[in-house]
Amino acid sequence: MRMSVLGILVPLLLLSQANSADEPRLRSCQKLKQAIERYTDKRRAGGSAAQMDSWKRARQQKKNEWDRLKCRHLSGQLK
């Protein structure tokens, strides 16, 4: 069975529009991922009790934002 050109182009057009609409969210999620990793690295390196607590709270705030933006759905596209 032959597929028409429109049968191929319309889904591709819709997919490209969906990807461009997610671009700002993708950038936000990428920044959040990097921040979470940065705080994780800081905690692994160690520090004073006050620093560790501060980094833990900051990391948790970033994770909450990650969840709010539903970044897990984009995790395959993140670097």
The Cα–Cα gap between 67 and 53 comes to 21
Q: Is 8 inside a domain boundary? A: no
Q: Is 14 inside a domain boundary? A: no
Q: Is 60 inside a domain boundary? A: yes
For the chain, what is the domain count? 1
Q: What's the mean per-residue pLDDT of the chain? A: 83
Domain residues for 59? 27-79
Q: Is 32 inside a domain boundary? A: yes
Q: Is 3 inside a domain boundary? A: no
Q: Is 42 inside a domain boundary? A: yes
Q: Is 38 inside a domain boundary? A: yes
Q: Is 55 inside a domain boundary? A: yes
Q: For the stretch 35-74, what's the b/e string if a residue is b when 16 or more beta carbons lie within 10 angstroms of its beta carbon?
A: bbeebeebbeeeeeeeeeeebeebbeebeebbeeeebeeb
pLDDT of residue 48: 97
Q: What are the pLDDT digits (tens) for 50-76?
A: 999 999 999 999 999 999 999 888 878
Residue 12 pLDDT level (bands cut at 50, 70, 90): very low
